[in-house]
Structure 1
Amino acid sequence: MIEIPEHLAGRILAFLPTYNESGNIESLIDSLLALDSRLDVLVVDDKSPDGTGNLVARKAADDRRIHLVSRDPPRGRGLAGREGFRWFQNHPLFSAVVEMDADFSHHPRFIPALLAKLSDFDAVVGSRFTPGGRETGRSVLRRCTSMLANTYLRFVLQTRLGDCTSGFRAFTRKALAGIDFQAYVSEGPTIVTELVFDLLSRKRKIGEVPIIFENRRWGDSKLSPAVLLRSLWFPLWMRYKRLKCWRRHPNP
């Protein structure tokens, strides 16, 4: 059983955005459900051609703790993320949500630590770059790229967070209260930094716990050079938009 903080009185939701994860999804769902009887799993699938959604639907038919949202095109990590967070907001039975990748790069064994730290924070990031955290199974170039990108993002976002690009995160209901995810503009992985920027702007308390990021067990990475470039440009655009808004309304 997970040691869930007392103020998280409701159920816990593990949210998985998926596209072509048929080789991982069933075993990952089983691992998540085995953590605690108070944990449900939500899969938001972008109509994966490899049958990921069909596999989840069959499991959901036998287990009420499994939920499936099958999205129509266009597909995208950000679009699926916005859908998943709205689903959480609309289901008050859940007091916290854990967002994670569906390829075992974010291992379920770190979820108890994420939830435990929610007793002191509104959101908690699973970090590769805090003491005790690291990446495995990736090239030196890829690891260096991640570290440099996060150094850049800390400067742009003006935060001390060690890992601004981690998609392994836990949020209380309070953390996401009042956020209109329909107004978000991210269609791809930039939703990770868009949400961090939004939470910081709302003065939410964000903590970190160390994780070991493991390269995916099965399937292909969705990260491309174009996605990486957009991830670096997007935070500058957010700060520009926020500065324009502040100049128009300096005393909100």
Structure 2
Amino acid sequence: MVFYAPRKNAGAGKLEKKPVSPIVQFEKVTKNFDNLAVVDQISGSISQGEIISLVGPSGCGKSTLLRLIAGIEMPSEGEIQCHIQPEKIGFVFQDVRLLPWKTALENITFVLRDRFIAQWQQDAHARKALARVGLADFQDYLPAQLSGGMQKRVAIARALAIKSELLLFDEPFSDLDLPLRILLIEDIHRLLKVGNKTAIYVTHDIREALTLSDRIYILSARPARIIGVINLDKSHQKEKELREIESQIFNVLQEETQKQMEEK
């Protein structure tokens, strides 16, 4: 079951880096599709302003876990508590899901209609969001007139425009050229930190996870279980240490991928 509840006040007069209560908490969450076990007994929590990455073998259940947090899927067992209302959750899917007959600007204002934003403010919100991802000059372009990277940025701008308190990213940078991917990762990381946004990323790219994240959950082969948690403090961790962490994660994922292949 997924509960959306108001966030508790951490207490007046206290200066805290993170709230006492997590904004998302999942307890022994399991998801089955008929006889196929996809997620198994996952527990964890996420606090305001944290950026979390989920890494694991292909097809292990990472995207399903995102959809469970978003309320798109319901757990078969266990409980998810989300202290953010559904209209404040932004989801950037692997496929950009832009309406081909609407311009970049209209693809954003379209979703703002149901977000309690006044009609006269919608264009301003959409233009500001496009400017934040470097697309201010492309607001009147149709998706077919934009490159793949630009379409990805429109999808990200759409999530930012609704003033999301929680952003869910399902491999948003996949299939992009490396230079563009690096640029987008740096830009989005900056936007998230400046806005104190909470975000959960699904990615296959370990270096991407290390660049973006405050914490990385390592998931097993399907059904997904948490087999490792890495807390990062990049202000104190040198490049050599990050490379060692990257190598350790790679070795774990290689073992899990091998297990998954042997079970097929």
TM-score tier (shorter): 0.3 to 0.5
Give TM-score scaled by structure 2 length. Answer: 0.31
TM-score when normalising by structure 1: 0.32
Higher strand share: 2
For the pair shown, the structure with the greater C-alpha radius of gyration is 2
